[in-house]
Structure 1
């Protein structure tokens, strides 16, 4: 909608009736403009808690820069407010907590050299760090799809509550990116090589398995989420321990899918050995030599991913394993800008998200063609352009 449309409608207000209906229409038009984003995220005080609600259900609550610019300052205000004792973040619509970042906007910006391709990643990672360093108990109700940017809004906080509707994945290698938003920090810390497996293959975990993998701290029935939120907001001056006790009580009572085996349980030993190679070529060789149905399936998946992204991701996790969250996010900002300068991200988004033909033409096309020198350039300090975090 052009910028002149809404003012032009306003000029005609006196001649149009009923006035109230037009006011509502105008409000809707204004909200649909990128300059007015009041409805995309709701920030409310409920009882003892500050509640962040991601409110783009049609876009599966995908995170855009305007949402980041509303959430960050409010999070900081609540952190300082003596009357706010905890922070809750959730999504609307019943399908997703947050399905990721607003990839299309970033793609368009990157192609045209727009600053958004820098600003989005910089401000998103600053928000991820604010979640990770928040001094108040931070509870993410990750009911529904939780991927990419949604992981960054939840996984670094104190508590992540999954339900049977939760779907977790870091599928970025399929679109020429890497598992960012601090993926280099939390993925290597998962048991064995599970984090490496999730990062390189984009494997999806569902429901209770997200808790079993160590990503969620608690698991409850989706139908109990509203009651849990109400109980959290009604706590009197709660400490982190009070919040933990309440979440533990809900988790303990939940028997749903308790008898089901962890989906990766029978493959854990294989994952730990096959994904322990120091190079991507070594991992591929391990999978080929193993030859089991599980190994061949992972080989088939990896073959579809961007070779550049695979090598970048493996090194990201290897280096991230010994870095602080701030160190990882600074590294990932450098990598994000390398992806914005490259070919694969735009090609991946075109093939997987826009045209949906699922057959990106990666450049370089093979792992062997992605040189160490090129990777070094992706990890190189950006000087004054580097991400600076407290």
Structure 2
């Protein structure tokens, strides 16, 4: 086993090379493989190197411990704010990495055995083959910390049937392995105890030829179906579509509350509670972002998400993201004080401010046409001089 020119000690991402197979392992099990500056930098380094490597054909991405990835490192962003240095460079690089993963020319297999939250889904969903298990739990819980659905997920959610994308993005509803397959975010279900066997067989296959990779996976994968109590069943999806198709966030909440009060609506309270507790500003931004994404290419979505993220971190219209992180991960009181505190107090014109294009030299520099793709070279960001000194 040869690691890709790095030492294992303290490496947050391990790169392995096995003849024609390459493996990237997110390697912070005690922190549930959160995505930090160093994770983004190393993932980008390995993915760029392997795409240019004529000997590399198959790329495996996995997590160590009980998680694939729990998403972005929230404390990193909070510390950036406290030091008056928002972590803008990691944001720029992460969106570039998202674009690269979506346009990658070599076969990728994501082995998502465990927690896969927010940005962690950006490492899973673009892969040609996304493998989930009974341990996989996916969600986009960003509104609960005053943030928005990002890292290409506004694009992914907007492509789901009906208004399921709004429901998932706004409520942070959790999906298990079979549910991820049902909505198309994963391709195969493999029991957790067989994941090591699958990895060994893919390494032994020593090829990135898609049909051959698919055959190996299908030999070990299991057919699954969603539980009868899943919110994805026909009757519940109809209610979700009815409520989350409303024009405004206020109307969505009122409609969902009304349905939850009816006989048989008890299942909705699981999702109504986080919806009512989330940042009103984040809810309105997320709703707008997902709906705009329906008419946007991947590149356009990423550029839009980048603008939103930058403006949210700069507290252009609200400090909610830092208050949410404080309440969840710093003081851990789980009692954020949102500003503004109600949906009615969130000015739609102010929401529009976070979506406005930047000066051209400050935009995310990626192609916006789906016919164009990454050219194999990272475009240095105009924010590079703002990298936190520790990096």
- Which band: TM-score by shorter chain? 0.7 to 0.9
Q: Which residue of 1 aligns with 2:200?
A: 230
Deviation at 1:249, TM superposition (A): 2.9
Is 1:364 the counterpart of 2:340? The answer is yes
2: CA distance, partners of 1:259 / 1:349: 33
2: CA distance, partners of 1:172 / 1:268: 22
2: CA distance, partners of 1:388 / 1:282: 36
1: CA distance, partners of 2:35 / 2:278: 24
Q: Is the 8 A contact 1:48 1:234 kept in 2?
A: no
In structure 1, runs of 5+ residues without a counterpart are 1-30
Deviation at 1:207, TM superposition (A): 2.6
Give the TM-score taking structure 2 as reference length.
Answer: 0.85
- 84-93 or 183-192, larger mean C-alpha shift: 183-192
Structure of larger gyration radius: 1
Deviation at 1:296, TM superposition (A): 4.6
Summarize the Cα distance change of 1:37–1:174 in structure 2 as closer, same or farther, 3 Å threshold: farther
Summarize the Cα distance change of 1:223–1:362 in structure 2 as closer, same or farther, 3 Å threshold: same
Deviations along 1:98-145, one digit per CA (max 9) or x if unpaired, are 111111011110232225x21111111111111100000111101000
Cα RMSD (Å): 1.9
Is 1:201 the counterpart of 2:180? The answer is no
1: CA distance, partners of 2:60 / 2:206: 15
The SS at the match of 1:234 is helix
Alignment match of 1:333 (pick from 296, 306, 314): 306
Structure 1 stretches of 4+ with a deviation exceeding 4 A read none
2: CA distance, partners of 1:120 / 1:340: 12
Q: Is the 8 A contact 1:149 1:181 kept in 2?
A: yes
Give the TM-score taking structure 1 as reference length.
Answer: 0.86
Is 1:213 the counterpart of 2:190? The answer is no
Is 1:304 the counterpart of 2:271? The answer is no
| Count of aligned positions | 351
Deviation at 1:236, TM superposition (A): 4.3
Alignment match of 2:357 (pick from 381, 385, 390): 381
Deviation at 1:67, TM superposition (A): 1.7
Deviation at 1:38, TM superposition (A): 5.1
Higher helix share: 1
In structure 2, runs of 5+ residues without a counterpart are 1-6, 368-391
Alignment match of 2:122 (pick from 152, 161, 166): 152
Summarize the Cα distance change of 1:73–1:297 in structure 2 as closer, same or farther, 3 Å threshold: closer
